[in-house]
Amino acid sequence: MREELGVHERLEVHELMMFKSLCLTKASVMKGLVTDERLKTLMQQDTEMHMRHLEDLRSHLS
């Protein structure tokens, strides 16, 4: 059974989503500037992780 989030909890989830969105944007931009392949791979993994986190957080709000 799914529990409803309170107003304060929804606000916290929204703040986390904004933070993760900013992290995703930064990682995506920086990945384009990197020339080292190992670092680029790590940044790609970081980008994918932030996308998964955003999807998980979004699911808590719907």
Domain range for 55 = 35-62
Looking at residue 2, what is its pLDDT?
56
pLDDT on residue 22? 95
At 5, which helix (H) or strand (E)? none
**42 part of a folded domain:** yes
Q: Is residue 11 part of a domain?
A: no
DSSP string for residues in 11-42: HHHHHHHHHHHHHHHHHHHHHHH---HHHHHH
Whole-prediction pTM value? 0.78
Question: What band does 5 get if pLDDT is binned at 50, 70 and 90?
Answer: confident
**Number of domains present in the structure of the chain:** 1
Q: What is the mean pLDDT of residues 29-57?
A: 93
> Residue 20 pLDDT > 90, yes or no?
yes
pLDDT at 1: 39
If you average pLDDT over residues 9-23, what whole number do you get? 94
Domain assignment present for residue 40? The answer is: yes
